[in-house]
A and B are shown apart, each in its own frame.
Chain A
C-alpha cells in the first residue's frame, strides 16, 4: 500500500486535491481512498488529507501514521506542524515552493504551484488554485499516470486552464 499525507490550509483545495489524486490512481486501475481530517477551526487553519493506494480493496479508516509521501501545499504550515512526523526513512516530500528545500535525508520535490496558478489566472475567491497543478507534480513523481491525472481533472473541472496548469507542473518539476 502506498500512503500519502497532504498538508494544506482550509480554503486551499487540499481536500479536493486528495480526491483527485485518489481518483487518478483509481483510473490507473488501482484501489484508492481519500479522507480529509478537519480540525475544529474555520478557514485558513491547517488541514490534513490522507490518500491510500493499493492493489486490493482498502479496509483501513484510521489516519496514516507512516506515510510514503508527504505533500505540503503551504510551507508556512511547517512552522507550526511537524509535517515529517512518521515519514518512512525512504519517504519523500513534495513541497509547493519556488526554491529547493532540504529536509533531512528525504528526497524533496519542489514546484511553484502558486506561480503556475497565478500565471494562468487560476484564482478562486482570491486564492490561487493549487489542486489541479498539484496533480501534474504528483504524476511527475511517478505516483499516478499523466493520462489519469488529466482525466481526473477534466472530470471535475470544465475550465481547461486546470489541465494546462497540471501539464505545466509536470514539465517544470525536476524528477
Chain B
C-alpha cells in the first residue's frame, strides 16, 4: 500500500509486518518514534507482540537475547549512547548466534550532548559479529528491515543484523513508502536450531577452554562470509517478488566515471545531486553507496582505475575515517596503477554531529580532491 512515512515509522511498520514476537526497547532521540509506534501497534492489536518497556539498553538487548534464545522473532531499536551502553550485549548476542534485528538511528556521542547524525556509534561496533546495513531512504528502511529478519534467521548466518538510519535526516524525514500487503512466504517462520529445548538440555555459553574458544570465533567469520550469498539471495528474491532492487552497494553513473564518491546513508544520495552538477561541468563523477558495511563488499572492480573520494560521517581517532580505511584495505589493488604507482582515495570527514553538508559542498570535495589526502570539512586552521 502506498503511504507516507518517516524513516522511524517505516522501521516500526516493517517490524509489524514481519509479525515480530518480542520487542524490547528503550527510548532515545532520534529513535524514539520506533518505540512509540511499536507501543501503539501493540496497544491497538495491530502487532500481536510482547512489548517490554525495559529500564535501559543493556536490558533491552538482554531481553532480546532471552527472547531470541527461545527461538522467536525479536527486535529492538536504539541510537548512539544507547548502542554503546549495550556494547557488552552487542558482542554477546552475536557470539550467542542469535538472529536479533535492531534499528540504529545514527547519532553523535557526547560529551557535549549532540543529537545530530554521525556513524561513529554503529561503526565502533563493527568488530562484534553483527551484520550492518546503512539505508538512505524511507522505502529502503522498510524493505531492509524486512530482509534483515530473513538474513539473520537463515541457518547459514544466525547472526544479528543492525539497520542504520541517519538520525533526523532519515529517521524524521517523511517520504512516500510502499508497504507490502502480503509477504507470502518471503519470511519463513523463525527456526533457530539452537533454541532452548527442554527435551534436549545443555549449557549455553558454558566456560570454554582456549582449545575451543577460537573455533567458535572462526565459526562467526564463516557465518559472516556465508551471509554474502544469503543477502544476495534475500535481495534478489525481494526484487522478484516486490519489484525493488538492492545490492551489497549501489552505483550511480559509475560505469564511465573518472571520479567516484563513496559514502553511506543520506550523504550518498545527496552526492548523486553533486555528481549531476559535476557532470554538467565536464567532470565525469559517479557515486558508490555502501549499503552493507558488514559483511564488507569487495569494491576492487568497481573502483579500479578511478579517482576515489570517500566521505566519512565518522572517525577512528589515531587512524582516520573508518570507511576510507575499510576501502583502502579491502580494495587496495584498485588503487595501484599499471605503472605500480598508487592513487589513493581522498578522505573527507564531514557531517559529524549533524553538521550541514550540501550537494554543493560535496561537489567542492570532488573538485579539490588530492590523492591520499584528508580533509576535515569546516575546520579552518
Contact = CB atoms under 8 A, between A and B. Distances in A.
Interface of A: 18-19, 22-23, 26, 31-38, 40, 58-63, 65
Given A59-B269, A59-B273, A32 B176 contact: yes
Contacts, number: 52
A19 B4 contact: yes
A62 B357 contact: yes
A63 B358 CA distance: 8
A62 B174 contact: no
Nearest to A15: B172
A60 B357 CA distance: 10
A32 B138 CA distance: 12
Q: Which 9 A-B pairs have the closest CB atoms?
A: A62-B358, A61-B266, A34-B174, A59-B269, A23-B4, A35-B173, A61-B169, A19-B174, A59-B272
Given A18-B174, A22-B4, A34-B174, 4 more contacts: A23-B174, A31-B176, A32-B176, A61-B266
A153 to B, nearest CB: 13
A32 B4 CA distance: 9
Interface string B146-174: 00000000000000000000101110111
B137 to A, nearest CB: 8
A34 B177 CA distance: 13
Given A22-B4, A23-B4, A60 B173 contact: no
B318 to A, nearest CB: 30
Contacts of B269: 59-61
Contacts of A35: 168-169, 172-174
Give the most central of B166, B168, B174, B176: most A CB within 10 Å. Answer: B174
A31 B266 CA distance: 17
A19 B3 CA distance: 12
Contacts of B270: 59-62
Interface of B: 4, 115, 166, 168-170, 172-176, 266-267, 269-270, 272-273, 356-359
Nearest to B269: A59
Contacts of A33: 173-175
Contacts of B166: 61
A19 B177 CA distance: 14
Contacts of A61: 166, 169-170, 173, 266-267, 269-270
A156 to B, nearest CB: 10
Contact of B359 (A23, A31, A60): A60
Nearest to B173: A35
A62 B359 contact: yes
A79 B123 CA distance: 43
29 contacts: A18-B174, A22-B4, A23-B174, A26-B4, A26-B176, A31-B176, A32-B175, A32-B176, A33-B174, A33-B175, A34-B173, A35-B168, A35-B169, A35-B173, A36-B172, A38-B168, A40-B115, A58-B175, A59-B270, A59-B273, A60-B269, A60-B359, A61-B170, A61-B266, A61-B267, A62-B356, A62-B357, A62-B358, A65-B358
A40 B169 CA distance: 16
Nearest to A18: B174
A61 B169 CA distance: 6
A154 B115 CA distance: 33
Nearest to B265: A61
A60 B4 contact: no
Contacts of A23: 4, 174
Nearest to A23: B4
Nearest to A58: B175
A60 to B, nearest CB: 6
Contacts of A62: 270, 356-359
B1 to A, nearest CB: 12
Contacts of A40: 115
A27 B81 CA distance: 38
A53 B168 CA distance: 19
B224 to A, nearest CB: 30
Nearest to B113: A40
Give the most central of A22, A58, A61: most B CB within 10 Å. Answer: A61
Nearest to B2: A26
A121 to B, nearest CB: 27
Give the most central of A23, A33, A37: most B CB within 10 Å. Answer: A33
B171 to A, nearest CB: 10
